[in-house]
Amino acid sequence: MSEQKFTVGSSITESYRFLADHMPHFFRLIYGPLILWVMVMVGEQLLLIEYDIHINSVYFLNVITATFAIVWYRQFLLGSDYASYRLLIKKGFSNSPLSFKRISRALLRVLVVSLVLLVPTLLLSFSMMVYFHGQGVPLSEAFIQELAFKSTLIIMLVFSPILIRLSLYAAGFALGRTSLRMQDIWERTRGYTVTLWWVTLRAFLPLSIYSYILTLFLDVMSEKLSINYIVSTIIIETLAGFLTFMILAIVVAANAEAFRILIGVRDGDVPHRNGLKKNEAVHSEPNRRQASKATP
């Protein structure tokens, strides 16, 4: 574990500074996922309007954003030489070919976390349905979907302190730290729950609000101008996808910084920190000389 103290301000500052200093790599890594994002959304609208076929694009977008998050973790923690989708597919997460055992273990962890969230969500949704049915409210499909959304939101908020602490496991997963256990993450983040929660909120919220307002404005303008739905979808989703990846890059970098300080990294990891230390040493040297001259 690093001797540096972990604070909300330092983590957020590091995440924004890292994104600003690595913009070329950011554009390199979102190029493919952004195209896939727009293609998925255009395909969803095309199937819905032309063929009345409903698909849920959320699952596809989750895979796209999760892949970017893993690679951006590697960009922060390992450097650009290890941050590429081709290398990720070819070498896996620990510079060795993906094995069935490792994939099975990763899927099992995802399944366990999903069940932990799903069971309370189902219970809450069922309770709300029983309550509203008793009040005489008709249970239409749209109303049930709204209840499911609200239940999911409530459960995610309730479990968010736990999930935020365990989210540091994703950084270890990106590093290929197969020996790192969730129990280790839980022990080393003890006492930092509120700090980690505020880090995620401050990294996520400002740009999310801006993204929501801007995409909503473009959506309203496209309807008023009667723009073709394919053209409007391409414009809106390109902007929405770009801002989503930018938000994700900030959140991931803040999370990776928390991992560096609270969990610890190996020698040679986080290469951009070496450059920061050199710059700090260069800037501090004249100050030390001036201070020594001023000393009688």
The chain-wide mean pLDDT, for the chain, equals 83
| Over residues 95-99, mean pLDDT | 60
Q: Is residue 225 part of a domain?
A: yes
SS3 20: helix
Q: What's residue 282's pLDDT? A: 40
In the predicted model, is pLDDT for residue 30 greater than 50?
yes
- Per the domain annotation, does 35 fall within a domain? yes
215 inside domain: yes
Show the tokens assigned to 116.
């932990």
Phi-psi region of 190 (alpha: psi -120 to 50; beta: other; left: phi over 0): beta
Residue 82 is given by DSSP the state G
Does 291 map to a domain?
no
How many separate domains does the chain show? 1
Helix (H, G, I), strand (E, B) or coil at 8: helix
Please say whether the beta carbons of 44 and 57 come within 8 A. Answer: yes
Range of the domain at 240: 8-267
Q: Kindly report, residue by residue over 118-142, the tens digit of the pLDDT.
A: 777 778 888 888 888 888 888 887 7
Which string of DSSP letters, residue by residue, matches 172-199?
A: HHHHT-TT--HHHHHHHTTT-HHHHHHH
Q: How far apart are CA 258 and CA 11, in angstroms?
A: 7
Is residue 52 in a domain? yes
Average pLDDT over residues 49-65: 88
Q: How high is the pLDDT of residue 278?
A: 52
Residue 78 domain-assigned (yes or no): yes
Q: Mind listing the pLDDT tens digit for each residue in 173-195?
A: 788 787 888 899 999 999 999 99
Whole-angstrom distance, CA of residue 252 vs CA of residue 83:
14
Does some domain include residue 243? Answer: yes
Pick the closest to residue 173 from 270, 246, 105 (CA basis).
Answer: 105
Q: Is the residue at 283 inside a domain?
A: no
pLDDT at position 109 is: 62
Q: What number is the average pLDDT over the span 86-94?
A: 69
| Highest mean pLDDT pick, 5-9, 18-22, 141-145 | 18-22
| Span 232-240, average pLDDT | 94
Among 27-41, 155-169, 248-262, the minimum mean pLDDT is found in 155-169
Q: What pLDDT shows up at residue 75?
A: 95
